[in-house]
C-alpha cells in the first residue's frame, strides 16, 4: 500500500507570531519556519505503518514556496521515500489545497492519505474533509489511534463526549490529532540520505487547478490584552465583588 502524506510549512510553534503594523497579515520576515506539528504526527504514523509492513511507500507532498523544500526534506529525513512540491507563492486556501491533493492522489493512487487535522497558522480544519468529499472516500478525522488490517483501517476519533471508533474501507482519508503518536527526531545519517531522495517539482497549472483566493482578509489584529486579576481574601469577598460586577445576583 502507498501512503500519501501532505505537509505544510508554517511558523514554528515555539515562535510568537507578530502582526504587521498595517494589519494586513502576519509578519514572516526572519521568522523560523517548520513543519506543521499535526503533519509531523501524520508523517510519523505513516512511517510506523510502513515499519509494521502495512505500507510499501510513503510520498510526502507540500504546496507552497520554494522554501517548502526544507519541510519536505524533513519528512524525507524522518522516513518518507519521495516527495512532491507544488510550488506557488500564492496563499492557497483549503479548497484549492484539497483540489491539488485530489489531483496528486489521482496520479499516485494511494491506499491511504494521512494528513494533520489542521494547520496551526490558519486553524481551518477543512482540507481533509474537503478532500474526502471530492474523492468520494471514507474519512476518519481527529484520529488518536489508527490500525490497519488488510483493506480495513480502524480509526479511534477524539470527539467532545470521549472516543468514537470507526471502521473504513481503503482507500481512505485520515486526519491526525495530537495524541496519535510522538514524532521521531531525524538522525544525522537520515538527514544526509534525505538530500539524495527524489523530490519532484510541479506547479498548480500542471494539475489544472486555479488557486485564486475566494476569500479576502480585511484585517489581522492581535487579541486584546487581558486585564490583571484581583486577589480576594475569602469567599464572601469574592461573592461581593462578583455582585458589584453584575456577574451574580
> How far apart, in whole angstroms, are the C-alpha atoms of residue 198 and residue 5?
15
Beta strands 26-27; 33-35: pairing state: unpaired
At 79, give phi and psi (nearest 5°): 150, 0
183-194: b or e for each residue (b if 16 or more CB lie within 10 Å)?
Answer: beebeeeeeeeb
What residue spans define the domains of the chain?
A: 2-244
Rg over CA atoms, the chain: 21
φ, ψ for residue 91 (rounded to 5)? Answer: -80, 110
pLDDT number for residue 249:
62
Q: What are 161's three cell numbers?
A: 463526549
Q: What is the CATH number of domain 2-244?
A: 3.40.50.620
Q: Which pLDDT belongs to residue 41?
A: 97
**Locate cell 503533519: which residue?**
39
Tens-digit pLDDT string for the chain (249 aa): 999 999 999 999 999 988 888 888 888 888 999 999 999 999 999 999 999 999 999 999 999 999 999 999 999 999 999 999 999 998 899 999 999 999 999 999 999 999 999 999 989 999 999 999 999 999 999 999 999 998 999 999 988 888 999 999 999 999 999 999 999 998 999 999 999 999 999 999 999 999 988 888 888 888 888 888 888 899 999 988 888 887 776
Q: What burial class does residue 102 get, using C-beta atoms within 10 Å of its C-beta: 0-12 exposed, 13-18 middle, 19+ buried?
A: buried
Amino acid at each position: 500500500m502507498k501512503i500519501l502524506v501532505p505537509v505544510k510549512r508554517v511558523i514554528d510553534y515555539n515562535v510568537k507570531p507578530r502582526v504587521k503594523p498595517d494589519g494586513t497579515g502576519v509578519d514572516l520576515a526572519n521568522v523560523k519556519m517548520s513543519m506543521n506539528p499535526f503533519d509531523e504526527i501524520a508523517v510519523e504514523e505513516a512511517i510506523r505503518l510502513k515499519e509494521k509492513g502495512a505500507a510499501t511507500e510513503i510520498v510526502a507532498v507540500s504546496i507552497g514556496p520554494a522554501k517548502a523544500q526544507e519541510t519536505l526534506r524533513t519528512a524525507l529525513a524522518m522516513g518518507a521515500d519521495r516527495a512532491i512540491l507544488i510550488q506557488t507563492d500564492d496563499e492557497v486556501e483549503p479548497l484549492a489545497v484539497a483540489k491539488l491533493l485530489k489531483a496528486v492522489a489521482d496520479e499516485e493512487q494511494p491506499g491511504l492519505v494521512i494528513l494533520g487535522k489542521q494547520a496551526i497558522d490558519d486553524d481551518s480544519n477543512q482540507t481533509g474533509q474537503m478532500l474526502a468529499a471530492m474523492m468520494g472516500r471514507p474519512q476518519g478525522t481527529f484520529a488518536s489511534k489508527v490500525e490497519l488490517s488488510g483493506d480495513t483501517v480502524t480509526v479511534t476519533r477524539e470527539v467532545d463526549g470521549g472516543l468514537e471508533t470507526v471502521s473504513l474501507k481503503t482507500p481512505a482519508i485520515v486526519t491526525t490529532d495530537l495524541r496519535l503518536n510522538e514524532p521521531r527526531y531525524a538522525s544525522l545519517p537520515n538527514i544526509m540520505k534525505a538530500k539524495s531522495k527524489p523530490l519532484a517539482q510541479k506547479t498548480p497549472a500542471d494539475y489544472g487547478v486555479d488557486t485564486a483566493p475566494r476569500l479576502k482578509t480585511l484585517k489581522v489584529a492581535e487579541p486584546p490584552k487581558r486585564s490583571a486579576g484581583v486577589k480576594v481574601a475569602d469567599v464572601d469577598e469574592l461573592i461581593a465583588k462578583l455582585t458589584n460586577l453584575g456577574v451574580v445576583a
